[in-house]
Amino acid sequence: MLVLGVLLSTAALSYYSQALEGIRIEKITVEEKKVKEEVASKKELTQEEAKITRQIDLGEILSEFYPEIWYMRKAGIANDLYIRGFSKDNINVLIDGSKIYGACPNRMDPPSFHVSSPQIESVTIKEGPFDVENAGSLAAVVNVKTKDPKKGIGGEVGGTYGSWSYRTGYVWGNVGNKYIKVLVGASNQYSKPYESGEGKKLTEYARYSICNQANTPQCKIMGYKPQYINDKAFNIDRVWFKTILTPNDNSEIKLSYAFENARNVLYPALKMDALYDRTHRLNGDFLLKDIGLKFSVYYNEVKHDMRDTFRETTYRRDTNWNITGDRPYSMMTYAESKMFGAKISKDFNIMGVDTTVGIDTYLRNWFADNVQNAFTTQENKNPGMIPDVNIKDIGLFIKGSKNIDKWTISAGLRYDYNYSKADPNRISGKNRDFITNGLLTKFSNTDNYLSGNIVAKYNFNKKDNVYIGIGHTVRAPDPQERFIALSGMAPWYGNPDLKPTKNTEIDLGGEYFPLNNLGLRANIFYSDLKDYIYLYQYQAGSNCLVPGTTWCTTYKNIDAVIYGGDVSGVYAFNDKISAELGIAYQVGKKTDKKGIYKDSDLVEIPPLKTRMAVKYDDGKFYTLLEGIYSAKQSKVDSDLKEQETGSWFIMNVKAGYTYANRLFVGVGIDNIFDRFYYNYLSYVRDPFRGISVSGNPVKIPEPGRFIYANVSYRF
């Protein structure tokens, strides 16, 4: 149901901003205000403060500064974003306004992985269902904007070196005049496996039981081959190009291309690693300023090859488990993801209301093939694991805002037509049994739905305000949720009859500055989820293809709620010393368990987290002492055998010096006291996870003490 109700109070924009190595990060809790109003509300960190972070991964960066943002730890990089307890396709992650999806069925390559820190100009985070310009922004939209070329000649060269041979180097430069501007850049990012606080390598935690009735004993503990325990954890090359053409004062053409080649990325939380992950991104933006017309088109593709080549599971063994040979791999999945999209929008004013109307459309294609027990007599080929699924979406949207005295009122409405289709002929081998046994019964779906929001803000003065926002957004099921087909000892299949998830949410909050040197921001939300798409795991039997198999996995629609809030504050002792505090907490509950679930707790809902920091900045020298605390999470979903995670507290220290606004040198120590701890999202809750000796999923701890240094020079 579309909810656009009478407002109880005021509404608008509240965000807290941080900048990391020249990256500006803005957090927006409700519908974005007009640009001319944003300046008074946002807070930006200095570039000197920014450059002292190690910036391995965008998920880690955002999680460090925003307590309501978390990440799923699967590896030393490529961590998947979680915002307010929402994750995966429930969050829209855009790069320069364009959608991008990873190819891995287990999200080794989440969207935020496909852009690097040196490329980024800013990151905007809009929380809640308050985006009508993009399809499927169920709970948040994160837009990563890359650097634009400037007039004149300039650029930057820099790098980081840290613990466990972590190093990154980059260079970018631009040249331009009034009519044409060009930027070109390149970078490399490399590391060996990090160590936890107990001194063990990341790769040493991938120890799980492999069982075979032909062997004596029947089970053996396996992990990485010895030569890969301390080999490279990732090695990533990136190049990018962007040009802006301005034939006259009224028009602008922006074209960009980026390529990423990630090699030998190790994922100890999973049963396979990525031999390579290759990404191409192309964007084109065309703007006619005098009539407010903008047209954007984009294409991207990801090719992903993951195998267990580096694991002991590839060894050939006799009945006593003695090694008799080796195979190139025993498990392998090859996948490709492609996106083509376009958007056209027009700005105009109707009776004093600043209005934007537009059309947004995309075509998403995804396929994956899988093989298990390769090069043996028990080889199980699973072509069509993701059976060449196409999703076509076309959306019409309108949004507007108006200032009325001290009020700012804004609203938006969107209609989507979404058509998804899989190719059953791509499903072969044992995967055909899913069709024969009636588990995959149809291969196309059509969804039509409305999304919308209305928000308002009341300004008491130039600083203090309160707001309310009511929004309703819908997300159609993705190709995996409806059509995946994976046979074997952990069967995993889609549900073609899934309904789209609908989120109706109310947000309340405000900004308050009781003193000139004290600022407070707060937001609370209540999200009512209908037909929430949820994992369903059950005891295997004849209804899941392989009698005797331990578990089968599919998806169901349930009803649920997620609610919580966050508070942040800044206090300036003087013009050089200040303190920051942030705290966030959220709860997730199943409200209708459909008769198949017993536990009311939702899976993957992070616990309370706080961040405290004191910093000194005199314009040249900068230092920061930071503490981050996470409470224990005992509200876990026993239906999915979710594990509790204990509380933890770590401290970080950073310092940097800038000379002549060009040369920067910085040092930092994260996890000063070398604490051993697990992020709550320290393991994967689905079939590709590694099962440890205890029968629980393999959990990956966070890095121990990480020491690093940054150097950069801008010319």
The bridge status of strand 293-307 relative to strand 331-350 is antiparallel
Report the pLDDT averaged over residues 356-372: 96
Each residue's pLDDT tens digit, 237-276: 999 999 999 999 999 999 999 999 999 999 999 999 999 9
Q: Is residue 7 part of a domain?
A: no
Do residues 11 and 410 touch, judged by C-beta distance below 8 A?
yes
Residue 62 has pLDDT above 70, yes or no: yes
What values do phi and psi take at 268, rounded to 5? -60, -25
Supply the DSSP symbol for 201.
Answer: B
* Token pair for 43: 């807070």
The number of angstroms, rounded, from the C-alpha of 70 to the middle of its chain's C-alpha atoms is: 9
* Token pair for 665: 């040198």
Confidence of residue 24 (pLDDT cuts 50, 70, 90): low
Report the pLDDT averaged over residues 618-626: 91
Cα 531 from Cα 28, distance rounded (Å) = 26
Tokens 């034939």 appear where?
Answer: 247
Cα 456 from Cα 344, distance rounded (Å) = 27
Q: Is residue 497 part of a domain?
A: yes
Residue 551 has pLDDT above 90, yes or no: no
Q: Is residue 8 part of a domain?
A: no
Q: Is residue 382 part of a domain?
A: yes
Each residue's pLDDT tens digit, 179-206: 999 999 999 999 999 999 999 999 999 9
Do residues 331 and 363 touch, judged by C-beta distance below 8 A?
no
- pLDDT for 690: 59
Range of the domain at 596: 18-714
Supply the DSSP symbol for 499.
Answer: P
Q: Is residue 548 part of a domain?
A: yes
Residue 216 has pLDDT above 90, yes or no: no
Residue 38 has pLDDT above 60, yes or no: no
Confidence of residue 94 (pLDDT cuts 50, 70, 90): very high
Nearest to 138 by CA among 547, 486, 475, 543: 475
- pLDDT for 42: 35
Nearest to 511 by CA among 428, 568, 578, 580: 568
Q: Is residue 3 part of a domain?
A: no
Report the pLDDT averaged over residues 9-31: 42
Return the beta strands (E) in 44-117 as ranges: 69-72, 80-83, 86-87, 91-95, 98-99
Cα 467 from Cα 141, distance rounded (Å) = 19
Each residue's pLDDT tens digit, 601-615: 999 999 999 999 999
Residue 447 has pLDDT above 90, yes or no: yes
Each residue's pLDDT tens digit, 628-684: 999 999 999 998 888 899 999 999 999 999 898 899 999 999 999 999 999 999 988
Question: Domain count of the chain?
Answer: 1
Confidence of residue 26 (pLDDT cuts 50, 70, 90): low
| 188: CB partners within 8 A, 6+ apart | 168, 169, 170, 235, 236, 237, 238
Each residue's pLDDT tens digit, 294-351: 999 999 999 999 999 999 999 999 888 899 999 999 999 999 999 999 999 999 998 8
Tokens 């952990």 appear where?
Answer: 490
CA distances for 657 relative to 56, 139, 660, 665, angstroms: 21, 39, 10, 5
Do residues 579 and 614 touch, judged by C-beta distance below 8 A?
yes
Report the pLDDT averaged over residues 566-587: 95
Residue 519 has pLDDT above 90, yes or no: yes
Q: Is residue 4 part of a domain?
A: no
Residue type, 161: Y
Q: Is residue 329 part of a domain?
A: yes
The CATH number assigned to the domain holding 603 equals 2.40.170.20
How confident is the prediction for the chain on average, in pLDDT? Answer: 89
Output the DSSP codes for 695-706: SSBP--PPP--E
